[in-house]
Amino acid sequence: MGESRFTTPDLRTAPGAAVRATCRAGSLTGPTPGLARGFVQANLVIVPSDVAFDLLLFCQRNPKPCPLLDVTEPGDFEPKAVAPGADLRTDLPGYRVWRDGQLVDEPTDVRALWRSDLVSFVIGCSFTFEAALLDAGLPVRHIELGVNVPMYVTNLPCRSAGRFAGPLVVSMRPMTPAQAVAATRVCARFSRAHGTPVHFGDPAALGIADPTRPEFGDPVEVRRGEVPVYWACGVTPQAALMQAKLPFAITHKPGHMFLTDLRDVDLEGE
């Protein structure tokens, strides 16, 4: 760490570019929540160009779970719209490599795997609206508890596109009805970060059999006077990707997001 320009405490208030540079130097391999506060963190999905139209169409047809922030042209590893100068092969703290739908490796650099036909999808993430909820004085239970957000596979199908299909995956945050209304108002500003909730109340309406056993993340208590509030979740495209059993794909490692140059406020509005 002697030569690193940044230490972990610095990265919390550093710009997104500083987090990327630290990843690129090999000095950050851990999760990104809490880093570069105010900068947009994003999901990453990388696929060969022969399925890129299908995946782009899947995202276009399912914008709430898959809000596109940037898509590169084949072979280009620089997401010019959201982080000019960045290198998607090195600038995340962790990656997952998939072959035939199976997780085969979790490297911290994918330069050796790069191909001229790879297309990268940078997709908005819930961290953006959670920061806005906290700023508005609204509770985000899993952050209070220091655990991962509970995520559930629903019985609502996404609109399919070519090889990509699958259920909507949702994240859940418990709130009182008044808080849920205020949260809806806040999240309506962030159409490029999952936007408004997709449901509140009865878990069975989404086909969730046991709310205490989320498919991903950790369970959190819904207290007296609260209802579960459900948002479309960025795990949805990853679930569709796994279901498609592509010969080759790369994603970010969960919680190890791509830091953009966008500010959270940039995801507001149109």
The residues binding its own copies (CB under 8 A) are 49, 52-53, 56-57, 60-61, 63-64, 68, 71, 73, 81, 159, 161-162, 188, 191, 195-196, 269-270
Shortest reach from residue 270's CB to its own copies, in Å:
4
- Nearer to its own copies among residue 5 and residue 61 (C-beta): 61
* Tokens at 265, concatenated: 């406020």
- Nearer to its own copies among residue 63 and residue 107 (C-beta): 63
Shortest reach from residue 80's CB to its own copies, in Å:
8
What is the spatial distance between Cα 186 and Cα 209, in angstroms, rounded to a whole number? 29
Cα 254 to the center of its chain, rounded Å = 8
Q: Give which of 114, 62, 50, 115 is closest to 238, Cα–Cα.
A: 62
**Which DSSP letter does residue 54 get?**
H
- Nearer to its own copies among residue 28 and residue 71 (C-beta): 71
* Tokens at 209, concatenated: 């059999």
What is the spatial distance between Cα 18 and Cα 163, in angstroms, rounded to a whole number? 37
Shortest reach from residue 202's CB to its own copies, in Å:
23
Residues 6+ apart with CB under 8 A from 59: 66, 67, 68, 121, 123, 237
Shortest reach from residue 156's CB to its own copies, in Å:
16
- Nearer to its own copies among residue 7 and residue 60 (C-beta): 60
- Nearer to its own copies among residue 210 and residue 270 (C-beta): 270
Shortest reach from residue 212's CB to its own copies, in Å:
30
